[in-house]
Structures are given as structure tokens and as C-alpha cells.
A and B are shown apart, each in its own frame.
Chain A
Amino acid sequence: MATPNDLQFQEFEEAANLLSADPGAPTLSMSASNDPAATAGTPAAGEDVRLDLSEDEAAQEESSELLGGQKSAGGFWTFEYYQSLFNVDTVQVLDRVKGSLMPLPGRNFVKHYLRNNPDLYGPFWICVTLVFSVAISGNLSTFLSSLGDPSYHHRPQFHRVTIAAVVIFLYAWLVPIGLWAFLTWRQGTERQVGGYSFLETVCVYGYSLFIYIPTSILWIISYEWLRWTLIVVAMVISGSVLVLTFWPVVRDDTRVTAVATVVTIVVLHTLLAIGCKLYFFQTAEHTPPAATIAPPIHPTPITAH
């Protein structure tokens, strides 16, 4: 078969034969680069390479680097490291947001939606949007609730933005740090498998806050029963995203620790929601008894498995 005329095609065929015989053999790719986000003109290069490099260890490392799936594209002080954290498309972000809105019992958010590509775009901009939506909606609701009052002078209440920003960003970043540290420590002592990386934890928390954005906008409607219904619905959805994500990890731990961890997650989430509601959406009447109704509703998603 080695006729000189077909030399060029022959090489190609030979290479293709070699590859089909051993799909894991490392191959050289000319078009992909180590930093897929920098090649602005070739977004599909990473996907094309993925077909060839799947089995071999070295090849796998190379392919995951090329896909940007691994976060270690350089140290954390380089710009490329952070660029690999923003390696998402619009469709992927919308998909993840949808996943946080509809938690199904079979679908672990991290495994199903993140798929080893946690991003920081979602958590960051969801937090920023939430800060402004809570502050603006709170301002609007105060304005609307005192429309009939002639002595009320409208004030922008701009300091609320600062407070909202501090609270929400602290929640979205410190709680995942604490949770991740705790889970890693437990994983180390109990020899569990399947822990989540820090970025995945931050990602889950960030996306789980998305439900509060439409909720805070709907809180402008000033009927107390509607507000409490909305807050309960939002907490159930958001809390179940978190519970479904973290339950498989803590399930193997001792019963007490597992339940305590999950309950802490849920309680902190509840505190955030109720705190936001009470501070930003103050109305004349104060309803403290309603606050104790919310936590007992939460064990139902846990026991339903």
C-alpha cells in the first residue's frame, strides 16, 4: 500500500489506523492552546480536541487543560487562572440558573450542571444583582406603601445598598468557605469520597441565591401573606438545591454530623432570607410569630428521600 503517489494520504491513514487501534495514544494538536479563553476566535478548538484525547493519563491532563476544565491553569496569582474560571458560555450560565430554579431529587447540582467546570461569573453577578434588587425593591416598597401618606417625603435610602452588599457578599463567600473547610476536614478524618472543591461550593451557593432575585422583586407587592408565601417558596427551592447537593457528601458520616450539617445550611439560608425581608421591607406591623413557622417546614425535603 505504500505507493509514493499516495504518500500524503498514506500518512493520514496510518495515523488514523493507529488512533483507532489505540484511542488513548497522545496526539499533537496544532490548533488548540493551553488557554482556551484567550483564543477568542476559536471557541470550538477545545471541543474538537476532546474527541482524541480521552484515555491516556497524560493525554487526559492535556485535554482537560486545553478545555480549561482544570482550574490550575497557572498559579492563582496569574490572570489565566481567573480566566479559566470564567470559561462559560451564555447557554451554560442559563442552564445552571435553570438548574438552580428546579431542583429535582435525582440531580446533584454539582455533578449534573457544573461538570467539573465551576465558574465565578454566575455567583458574582447573581450576588451583585441580588444586592441591587433587594435595595431597590425595598426602596420601592417603602415608597408604595406610603403613597397615600401626604407627609411622607421620598428618600432614596442609599445606605441600604451598602448594607445589602456587605451582608450578601459575606454570606455568599464566608459560608461556603466554612462549609468547605468543615467538609474537607470531615472527609479527611472519615475517609469519605466525593467531596467538593472550594470553587464548586461557592458556585452552588451563588447559583442557589438566584431564586431570591425574582422573589425580592415580587416583594414589592405589599401583602404580608403574599410576602411570607413567597419567602417560604423561595427558601424551599433554594434550600433543596443546597440540601440535594450536600446530602450525598455528608450521608456517609455519622448520623448526627450529617443532620447537623444539613440543618445548619438550611438555618443559615433561612436567616438570610428572613433577615433581608425584615430589614429591607419594613412595614408598619411586625409579625414575629410568623418567623417560627418557617424552620419546621424544612425537614420535609430531608426526610423525603
Chain B
Amino acid sequence: MASAEEASRPFAGLSDVSISEEIPVEGDIAVPVGPSTRDDEFSTLDEPVKETIVRDLRAVGNKFIHVLYPKRSSALLRDWDLWGPLLLCVTLALLLQGGAADSDDQGGPQFAEVFVIIWFGSIVITLNSKLLGGTISFFQSLCVLGYCILPLTVALIVCRIVLLSGSGNVSFAVRLAVVTASFGWSTFASTAFLADSHLTNRKALVVYPVFLFYFVIGWMILTFSPGN
């Protein structure tokens, strides 16, 4: 009966516990925290800097590969980052320098102009696609558009190499072919990533500004002529 009573009153045994006021209650409450994956992602402060940079570079490189072989994957969208676009934009702007008569205003685009066109153009295209009812987020779209500049940057490097051997008609034809191919590749890659996020009857409205964007960048690359 006593056990039944005790069972029915689970805290019955504590009723005669009393704590004297002179003895302070102290102790440790230690909750053992094992290494969980959530903690691992946040506590990267202690790792060497090289590891941090290499991890980011690896992520960027992984996305580059996804751009070069575009399939309908969500890697670019899932882990978007803006390091790649920044890297590509700075490379493009730097390589477009050294053109004919930089200080003359008849010359090619200045560094700031390239930067503004790429970033402002990406923002406008993203706003456009969101206003048309797209389901992609702002930064994801910026990420995709920025990463898909990679083929055009490669084309610019190739063009500069071709220009080293002279700027005659043959080199122009080669440059035209390279820039056209990379422009088509960029547009195709970005539409492969952006395709699913829009209504079918508005897809052309969303793709056209992307086409125009890469066309203008391709034009800037094609008309690049080396300084004297």
C-alpha cells in the first residue's frame, strides 16, 4: 500500500528534503555536447586560413564546372555565392583594360563601366524576372548570371592571345567565331539554370534580357583592340 501510495505520488519522497539556509547550493550543470555537424559549420574560426580559402575556392571551382557542362542541376541554385561572379567580373574588367587609348574617351569601356554594366545589368535582369513572377530568389539569380559569364571570360583570354599574333582579318574571323560560340554557351547555360522557375508563357520574356546582356558583353569583348 505504501508502494502504491508512493507510486501514485511520484514526488512523495522529496517531501522531507529540506535545505538548510547556511549551505549554499552550488554545482556544475554540464551537458555533454558531442561534435554535431551544425556546430562544425559554425565553428570555423579555429581552422587555418588556408583551409577556409581552399574550401571557398573549391566551391567556386565546382560551380565553374557546372557552368562549363550545363545540365539541369540545382547546385548553382542551392549553394549560391557571389565570389565567383566577383572574380569573373574583376578579371573581365581588368582584361578589357589596356585597350586603344584608354585615356581618350573614344576608347573602350573603362573598368568602372564594365563593372557597372555587369552588376547593374544582372540586378536589372533579376528584378525583371522577379517582376514577371519568377520563383527564383534575388541572389540565386545574381549568382547564376554571374557564373555564366565564365565562357565569355575564357573567350576574352583566347581573344587576347589571338591578338598577340596580329589584328588582321583572319584574327578577326577567329575572334568572331570564338566570341559567338561562347556567347551562345553562356546564354544556353544560364537558361538551363533559370528555365524551371518561370511560367511557360513568359519564358521568352525572361530569356530575352539575358540574351541581350551576354550579347553586350560579347560585343565589348569583340571590339577590344590592343593599344599601340
Contacts and interface: CB of A to CB of B under 8 A. Distances in A.
Contact of B225 (A37, A38, A155, A159): A155
B128 A153 contact: no
Nearest to B204: A90
B212 A129 contact: yes
Given A83-B133, A125-B209, A156 B202 contact: no
Which of B106, B131, B132, B212 has the most A CB atoms < 10 Å from its CB? B131
Nearest to A94: B204
Given A90-B201, A125-B209, A132-B216, A158 B131 contact: no
B107 interface: yes
Given A155-B225, A158-B113, A89 B202 contact: yes
Contact of A155 (B106, B134, B199, B216): B106
B88 to A, nearest CB: 20
Contacts of A139: 223
B109 interface: yes
B109 A158 contact: yes
B219 A40 contact: no
A121 interface: yes
A43 B201 contact: yes
B108 interface: yes
Interface residues on A, range: 20 to 34
Contact of A157 (B106, B128, B134): B106
Nearest to A121: B205
Given A40-B135, A121-B128, A132-B212, A156 B198 contact: no
B160 interface: no
A238 B225 CA distance: 37
A158 B93 CA distance: 14
A259 to B, nearest CB: 39
B221 to A, nearest CB: 10
B101 interface: yes
Interface in A125-150: 125, 128-129, 132, 136, 139
Max chain A C-beta neighbours (<10 A), residue from B130, B134, B224: B130
A88 interface: yes
Interface string B129-172: 01111110000000000000000000000000000000000000
A159 B105 contact: yes
Contacts of A125: 128, 208-209, 212
Contacts of A153: 100, 225, 228
A89 B208 CA distance: 13
Nearest to A90: B204
Contacts of A156: 99-100, 107-109, 220, 223-225
Contact of B101 (A85, A136, A155): A155
Interface string A67-89: 00000000000000011011011
A30 interface: no
Contact of A83 (B99, B131, B135): B131
A91 interface: yes
Interface string B185-228: 00000000000001101111100110010011001100111001
Contacts of B135: 40
Contacts of B212: 125, 128-129, 132
A107 interface: no
B133 A89 contact: no
Nearest to B121: A128
28 contacts: A37-B131, A37-B133, A38-B133, A40-B134, A40-B135, A40-B199, A82-B131, A83-B130, A86-B133, A89-B205, A90-B201, A121-B132, A121-B205, A125-B212, A132-B212, A139-B223, A153-B100, A153-B225, A154-B223, A155-B101, A155-B104, A155-B106, A155-B107, A155-B108, A156-B109, A156-B225, A158-B220, A159-B106
